Chain A
Amino acid sequence: MNILIEVFSAPGCSKCAEGREALKAVAEELAKDRVTWRDLNVLDEMDYAVELGVMAPPSIAIDGELVFPALPTPDRFRDELIRRLERGASNSSGRR
């Protein structure tokens, strides 16, 4: 099961870019082949951002749910990914 991570950022926002790269590195280190990463420009994806409840970029949605309304620390982000990866693993083993 792949995890979809969507990062909503404002174009030209240096704070968004720095934080995003640090988190992307965490995701790649943890499970590169099980994570789909999408960088979204909040202005281009306004409808989708509103649908998810994004109120201020940068924000992160995981599997279509707004999980981090503001950028988390790499540690918090790692914990969340591990939790989801483990849940995905147990769901798929339960199905077998």
Chain B
Amino acid sequence: MHDALQVHRGKEASTNSMLTIGKVAERAQVSADSIRFYEREGLISPARKTDSGYRLYTEEAIRRLGFIKHAQQCGFSLVEIRELLDLRNDDESCCDDVYRVAIEKKLQLETKIKALNSMSRALSGLIEICSRDKKSLEECPILGALEAGLERREPAHPKLASKQRGIS
């Protein structure tokens, strides 16, 4: 009887130090919906649930959410963040593994930046050719240049072109 009382008090104490989803959301500065979404994506899970089904978290959840937020700011996708979190919890992993993931991400971002710069330059070229003298849309040099570009590209991709034309 005495033992059962102690167990009950211990459980009560640990539950009292736990945080509800609202508290965690407030302290980690994310929405409760985001936390539920991260849970569905396997990035976070409550330490336990109450008998009535409410999620309860420890302080670790706030650190984990901070990690997720910072990783997202560095361009990591949720799948990649899960990989990083797994590495963090894997005893056999070392900082070399995280270093490799970070370098690969950097290469990926630089590749995207290069592609975006190239798109931006192409748009600058189109903007420059526009005389803005309120011509009709049929005479629009931007639309004309885009169409001319498409026509020029078609012979370079004969398979794609025939697919578009419905030729098998």
Contacts and interface: CB of A to CB of B under 8 A. Distances in A.
Interface of A: 10, 12-14, 42-43, 46-47, 49-51, 53-57
A11 to B, nearest CB: 9
A55 B107 CA distance: 6
A55 B100 CA distance: 11
Nearest to A42: B103
Main secondary structure of the interface of B (DSSP, over half): helix
B106 interface: yes
Most chain A CB within 10 A, of B104, B106, B107, is at: B107
Interface residues of B, number: 11
Contacts of B96: 12-14
Interface in B89-117: 96, 99-100, 103-104, 106-108, 110-111, 114
B100 A13 contact: yes
A77 to B, nearest CB: 22
Closest 6 CB pairs of A and B: A50-B110, A56-B104, A10-B103, A50-B111, A50-B114, A55-B107
